[in-house]
């Protein structure tokens, strides 16, 4: 058994065909098939059922896949560590944050981590909606701090905090702001939203009112300034507008059949199949 045989087996299992796996690994299909066959012969087991058009994992293959993926990830992590040690470079960590995650407790943890790794080169970027997971999938980022927008089996994630989201506006925007507002009253005013930072940004259908007018901005600071100017309403992290609420410059709204107030879990996220650098594992352990 060798590394190439395991890569061939895992690729076929994940991509669903020998042809797709061969293209992915830049191998010929006969070469790939021979690698998988050698692996089966080595252990005298059958990993794939080849009686149908597409190969399917046998019961033995299912169990073997779990360990094979784990072993390949460990091997890749060891290779990464070897390169890091050989280069002698300062550790680098790329972190993508949702704008709602600039919470004092989370920022304090990042600060404490950076002090422990005094030579750390920390690259911070912000993203919203699909752009956060896209940065991980394209390996532009090692880790992300964000709410659950599309998390699935491709990712490992652990909850690290919560953000209280409220619906806010300037007090003069709605005369009856102390009452529960009907959705029809909000449709007449712009709903200010953060734009999806993904390259294939989908329509924003999360916590919106059908038929409302929508304005899009790139950060919460501009969003807050538009609210203070009385130009619209929006859901906001409470900690970002706390001072304005206390001063009466903004008010919290209640809206019928709308998530006007909610606790949003924040997760530390990484790509499950990607080999972790030592600095990534250390950061993950501190936060989780």
Same domain, 251 and 171: yes
Q: Which of 92-106, 152-166, 234-248 has the lowest mean pLDDT?
A: 92-106
The pLDDT of residue 204 is 65
At which of 40, 67, 87 does a domain end? 87
| Number of domains within the chain | 3
Q: What CATH number is given to the structural domain containing 140?
A: 3.40.190.10
230 burial type by CB count under 10 A (0-12 exposed, 13-18 middle, 19+ buried): middle
Nearest-angstrom CA–CA distance, 103 and 237: 10
Domain end among 87, 117, 141: 87
Q: Is the pTM of this model over 0.85?
A: no
Mean pLDDT for the stretch of residues 113-132: 86
Same domain, 243 and 259: yes
Residue 203: exposure state from Cβ atoms within 10 A (0-12, 13-18, ≥19): exposed
Residue 89 above 60 pLDDT? no
Q: Is residue 171 domain-shared with residue 144, that is, in the same domain?
A: no
Mean pLDDT for 20-40 is 87
**Does 14 lie in the same domain as 73?**
yes
CA distance 140 to 20: 25
Domain that residue 251 falls in: 163-265
Q: Is residue 39 over pLDDT 80? A: yes
Mean pLDDT of 62-85: 76
Same domain, 282 and 154: yes
Judged against a pLDDT cut of 80, whether residue 90 lies above it is answered with no
149 and 187 share one domain:
no
How far apart, in whole angstroms, are the C-alpha atoms of residue 124 and residue 252?
Answer: 31
Report the mean per-residue pLDDT for the chain.
87
Buried b (16+ CB within 10 A) or exposed e, 20-49: ebbeebebeeeebbebbeebbeeeeeebbe
Last residue of a domain, one of 24, 55, 87: 87
For residues 154 and 270, membership in a common domain is answered with yes
182 with 171, same domain: the answer is yes
Q: What is the CATH classification number for the domain harbouring 26?
A: 1.10.10.10
Same domain for 150 and 168, yes or no, is no
Q: Is the pLDDT of residue 220 over 80?
A: yes
Helix, strand, coil share of the chain (percent; to 5): 40, 25, 35
User: Is 38 in the same domain as 111?
Assistant: no
| Same structural domain, 15 and 81 | yes
Same domain, 33 and 153: no
Q: Give the CATH number of the domain where residue 190 resides.
A: 3.40.190.290
């Amino acid at each position: 058994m060798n590394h190439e045989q395991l890569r061939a087996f895992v690729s076929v299992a994940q991509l669903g065909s020998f042809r797709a796996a061969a293209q992915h690994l830049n191998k010929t299909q006969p070469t790939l098939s021979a690698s998988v066959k050698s692996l089966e012969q080595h252990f005298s087991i059958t990993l794939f059922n080849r009686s149908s058009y597409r190969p399917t994992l046998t019961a033995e293959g299912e169990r073997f896949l779990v360990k094979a993926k784990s072993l390949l990830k460990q091997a890749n992590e060891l290779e990464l560590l070897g390169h890091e040690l050989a280069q002698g470079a300062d550790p680098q960590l790329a972190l993508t944050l949702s704008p709602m995650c600039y919470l004092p407790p989370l920022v304090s943890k990042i600060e404490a981590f950076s002090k422990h790794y005094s030579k750390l080169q920390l690259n911070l970027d912000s993203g919203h909606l699909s752009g956060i997971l896209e940065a991980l999938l394209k390996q532009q980022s090692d880790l992300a701090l964000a709410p659950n927008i599309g998390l699935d089996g491709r990712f490992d994630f652990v909850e690290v905090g919560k953000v209280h989201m409220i619906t806010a506006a300037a007090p003069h925007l709605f005369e009856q702001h102390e009452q529960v507002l009907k959705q029809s009253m909000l449709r007449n005013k712009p709903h200010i939203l953060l734009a999806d930072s993904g390259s294939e940004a989908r329509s924003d259908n999360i916590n919106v009112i059908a038929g409302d007018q929508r304005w899009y901005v790139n950060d919460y600071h501009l969003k807050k300034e538009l609210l203070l100017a009385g130009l619209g309403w929006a859901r906001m992290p409470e900690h970002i507008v706390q001072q304005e609420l206390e001063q009466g410059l903004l008010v919290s709204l209640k809206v019928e059949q709308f998530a006007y107030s909610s606790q949003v879990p924040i997760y530390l996220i990484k790509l499950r199949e990607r080999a972790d650098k030592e600095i990534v594992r250390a950061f993950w352990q501190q936060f989780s």
